[in-house]
A and B are shown apart, each in its own frame.
Chain A
Amino acid sequence: MFMQTWLLPFALLATATIIAFPLSRYLAWVMDGKYRPLPVFGWFEKRLNSGPQNWKQYVYSLLIFNTLLFVFGYLVLALQPWMPLNPDHKTLLAPSTIFNSVVSFMTNTDLQHYSGDQHLSNFSQIFFGIANLFISAAIGLSALVAIIRALRSDSSVGNFFLDMWRVLVYMFVPIAFVFALFFIVQGSPMTLKTSYSVSTLEPAAMGTTDKGEVKQQNIVVGPVAAFEAMKMLGTNGGGFYGMNSAHPFENPTAASNFFNTYAMMMFPFALVLMYGRMLGRMRHSIVIFSVMLIMMAGTIVWSICFDTLKPNPGLTAHPVARTYEVPSATAPGGKRAVILPAVPGLPVDQHLGNLEGKEMRFGTSAGATFAALTTDVTCGAVNAESDSLNPLAALAPMVGMWLNCLFGGKGVGMINMLLYIIIGIFVAGMMVGRTPEYLGKKIGAREVKLAVIALLIHPFMILFPSGLFAATSWGLKAISNPGAHGLSQIVYQFSSASANNGSAFDGLGVTYGFWNNANPAPTAVAWDIAAGLVMMFSRFIPIIAPIAMAAYLGEKKSSPFGLGTLRDDTPTFSILLLGTILIIGALLFLPVAALGPVAEHFGPIPFGG
């Protein structure tokens, strides 16, 4: 049992760490343009390259391209009924859902207010889904590379279009092809068919239709393997099917689950080391890498300890009766007592932990491991239902989103970490009374302001809309679980949107469905719009502000390394960094954690009903 629990997360972390070293070398080699392209590739590169850009030009290019991507995605979804590969005649999604989905995929979030298997044609899955899976991931990575070039005072931060081409052609497409092939071998469908209707082995068990005929099982298939590989590699996380990597076609075996999980760690791990290689500061990046690794391991261990190693508390005995005093206008003294009787246990063998919402084929701790990892690296795919995690275990994915730099997403995780580094060095400089420096450049007020703006947009975009929705019927009509968990559902949704993560507590009623749906979730439109705006702000401000910050830093003269310089490649620095992240994170999010998962844990369980 000990090995069955811990081998999987250990093997994943070890594999990702080991492969990160050679992979980061390759990534740096490609992004520094040291390769010699094949003639046909070279022809495209020449056409795409618009010449060296400064940071403003780079940001313009990025924004213009994203605008175009938005229009393209919107058109694909808005024209779904008239496009090919749609034999089931899937009709239009609600306009607000199209807005939400397009923003969501464009920003690498992939929060889904629709279900792919129910609402999208294969054409939309390919030309909206797969297109964005590749492109949005490449955008984040390009932004990181621009920041690195700015920090090392290159004459130009590079060319956005050329960077995008390099990322797509030399990294994502070939690697995704290999992973997709493996997923096909394991059992992921790869076809342009949409579904099969079959009479099951015991046909009557499917039930009968309104006409009294025996129902058939309708099995949805499609180009799943192609979708799946890039969904994970790009830390996108938006599923082909509603239930994402828990669906047997997206994730057919324990082996596919291992590589599903590894795929989302592959680039985030390597990018941190690429940062060090391109700056010529390998030791510094190893310090950052270990800080991230420690925090990531912490969230995994936490999640496993409270989910895999603990039973689902909804089914166990709670032998002590409790009495609460609640305010009451009519009762004498203004208070009345609510008595919660002792609860006997149900006879369920829970030695495998909490199995509600888990799949059997992945292995004992696979669900808890995946839940923590998917938010650490801002992927957002799930292979188990996060809503049904044990209350405290659900803190692990939440912390991953709140800190948003435990390796983090494609490029943006390292960018977030850079902000923490700047703040950490600034704080340390204040403490010793010396001008703070990073990479030999003095950190001035302007840089710190930009870093703080980029950092604070995240908690603001989580806590403000969460508060708004928790206080209004927008949120109260959408939650599906009572009590503290209902608040967790709201907070999780906005955390996921703001962290550009995309996982969700699925019970939350946010799905409008097709535009002519007679019975949509009552507040779906409010959720579509609010989450869409959050994703947009929380994507672009934390990309643009750090590019500006890095550019301003890079423009400064390098001061020589001296005895008083704060060294950024020592264990002391890692403690400084860890402390900065944990203190800032705790200050921002402890209150809401206490009201949500922690309150739920302390009960009463079961609650309401």
Chain B
Amino acid sequence: MWKYISKSVLLLAVAVAICCVIYPLALLAVGQAVFPFQANGSLLKGPDGAVVGSKLIAQPFTKDEYFQPRPSAASYDASASASSALAASNYALRDRVARTLGPIVNYKNGPKAGKPVAPDVEGWFQKDVYQGNPHIVAQWADQHNSLASAWVTGDPAHGPYVDNWAKAHPAIVAQFKKDNPGTPEPKAPDLAVVFFKDFSAAHPGQFPSAVTKPGADGKPVTTIEPVKDGSDIQSTFFAMWREDHPDVELQDVPGDYATASGSGLDPHITLQNAEFQLDRVASKWAADTKRDPASVRQEIRQILLSNASAPFGGLTGEKMVNVLEVNLKLRTQYGAPPQ
């Protein structure tokens, strides 16, 4: 017995010495000496010489001048990689994709071919009729309780807005308590559905959204107000608009544009996705630099093609581009986009 314990201690000590000291130190030495770029995280420098990120880690881009990476369930936080973990059958997946699509999808054919559907979504929303019944927002909250409460918790300004509403509508809150004896002290997310039902009746064809206006002291102030158009409506209600217009043909958006990656940090998009974004990017740079759109588009297309590569030269996958590398190239070639 004691013999086995002492041998176990010796084995553990030897194994730890080899596996946790010698093995990693040898790799560290070779890695740092021979492959310092990779061993330190493949960091890329920007035009002013400062590190702007890693070639292998996606970072967010919102300006129209830049290509956008895939959606990230980790908010591009490279210290907390995460996937969406949404099952195909989960409505939340469909909803998230629909929100991505709403503002950018175009008609495929008909008189409006190539034109965005977003204005029509807004027009349909303002008429406030879904599946023949009035009050779109009320129906939305009723059918998708979890989305309604997610709206309340999704922004720090939304909760207080609902709290203020609850204070102003004690009768509705009292009725809620009566209907839901399990929730004697309802908080803002619990009240989401009744809040939206009341909101929808009071503001038909409108949705609460952030509005930024100059305040009394000249600084911009953001408040939540009922609005009848804008990106919130284009994205949130695209799925319902689509249900009311199932036969309208729309242009397909590349799959990787709408789906979140496994790590939340996927540095690539498919070349197809990049070309899908090319018109937006090129026309914006052309406007910024006051140059001929066609030639700018041609230049940027060249950048994409020279960056594109495929897994095993295309044997096992399709061509893709590295978003940060391409955007860095755009930044050095055309300068900083205007604020």
- Give the interface of A toward B (CB within 8 A): 3-4, 7-8, 44, 47-48, 50, 57, 60-61, 64-65, 68-69, 72, 115, 117-118, 126-127, 130-131, 133-135, 138, 161, 164-165, 168-169, 173, 176-177, 180-181, 184-193, 195-196, 198-202, 204-207, 217-221, 223, 225-226, 230, 241-243, 246-249, 252, 254-255, 258, 312-315, 317, 341-344, 346-352, 354-367, 382-385, 387-391, 480-485, 488, 505-507, 600, 603-609
Contact = CB atoms under 8 A, between A and B. Distances in A.
A126 B35 contact: no
Contacts of A205: 59-63
9 contacts: A48-B10, A181-B31, A217-B53, A217-B59, A254-B312, A346-B258, A361-B268, A391-B89, A481-B87
Given A165-B14, A217-B76, A506-B83, A200 B255 contact: no
B183 interface: no
A209 B58 CA distance: 20
Contacts of B256: 352, 355, 360
Contacts of A207: 75
B11 A164 contact: yes
Interface string B264-285: 1111111010000000000000
A342 B269 CA distance: 32
B3 to A, nearest CB: 6
Contacts of A180: 27
Contacts of A488: 87
Contacts of A65: 4, 8, 11-12
Given A127-B16, A603-B89, A607-B89, A247 B147 contact: no
B38 A188 contact: yes
Contacts of B38: 184-190
A183 B258 CA distance: 30
A609 B144 contact: yes
B227 interface: no
Contacts of B261: 246, 357-360
A367 B91 contact: no
Interface in B69-84: 70, 75-84
Contacts of B1: 60
Which of B16, B32, B75, B250 is the most central at the interface, judged by chain A CB atoms within 10 Å of its CB? B16
A189 B39 contact: yes
A3 B256 CA distance: 21
B171 interface: no
Contacts of A358: 259, 261-262
B322 to A, nearest CB: 9
B315 interface: yes
A144 B261 CA distance: 39
Contact of B312 (A190, A255, A354): A255
A388 B126 CA distance: 35
B262 A382 contact: yes
Interface in B224-259: 239, 242-243, 245-246, 250-256, 258-259
Choose among A48, A181, A201, A608 the residue with the greatest number of B CB atoms under 10 Å from its CB: A201
B241 to A, nearest CB: 10
B202 interface: no
Interface of B: 1, 3-5, 7-12, 14-16, 18-20, 23-24, 26-28, 30-32, 35, 38-43, 46, 50-63, 66, 70, 75-95, 97-98, 101, 105, 108, 131, 143-144, 146-147, 239, 242-243, 245-246, 250-256, 258-270, 272, 311-312, 314-318, 320, 324, 327-328, 331
B316 A365 contact: yes
B143 to A, nearest CB: 8
Given A8-B316, A247-B265, A64 B90 contact: no
B262 A201 contact: no
Contact of A191 (B41, B53, B259, B269): B41
A127 to B, nearest CB: 5
B28 A349 contact: no
B47 to A, nearest CB: 9
B31 A184 contact: yes
A195 B253 CA distance: 35
Nearest to A389: B88
B318 to A, nearest CB: 7
A346 B242 contact: yes
A225 B250 CA distance: 45
B316 to A, nearest CB: 4
A242 B83 CA distance: 10
Given A117-B80, A200-B60, A485 B85 contact: no
B159 to A, nearest CB: 15
B93 A606 contact: yes
Contacts of A346: 94, 97-98, 101, 239, 242, 258
Given A61-B8, A352-B318, 19 more contacts: A48-B11, A72-B12, A161-B7, A189-B42, A191-B31, A191-B41, A200-B60, A219-B57, A221-B40, A243-B82, A243-B262, A249-B57, A344-B246, A357-B84, A357-B262, A364-B317, A483-B89, A505-B85, A609-B144
B146 A349 contact: no
Nearest to A230: B19
Contacts of A362: 311, 317
B317 A254 contact: yes
Nearest to B117: A347
B316 A366 contact: yes
Contacts of A341: 131, 243
A208 to B, nearest CB: 12
B125 to A, nearest CB: 17
A356 B311 contact: no
Contacts of B23: 130, 173, 176-177, 226
A609 B95 contact: yes
A11 to B, nearest CB: 8
Contacts of B268: 359-361
A604 B84 CA distance: 21
A314 B75 CA distance: 22
Given A248-B57, A485-B90, A190 B327 contact: no
A600 B88 CA distance: 9
A199 B50 contact: yes
A192 B5 contact: no
B12 A69 contact: yes
A495 B173 CA distance: 45
B254 to A, nearest CB: 5
A222 to B, nearest CB: 10
Nearest to A67: B8
B42 A187 contact: yes
Contacts of A507: 85-87
A117 B79 contact: yes
A344 B246 CA distance: 5
A206 B59 contact: yes
Nearest to B248: A344
A201 B327 contact: yes
Contacts of B324: 201
A592 B86 CA distance: 21
B9 to A, nearest CB: 7
Contact of B255 (A50, A198, A255, A351): A351
A421 B20 CA distance: 38
Contact of A248 (B19, B265, B316): B265
Contacts of A391: 87-89
A131 B40 contact: no
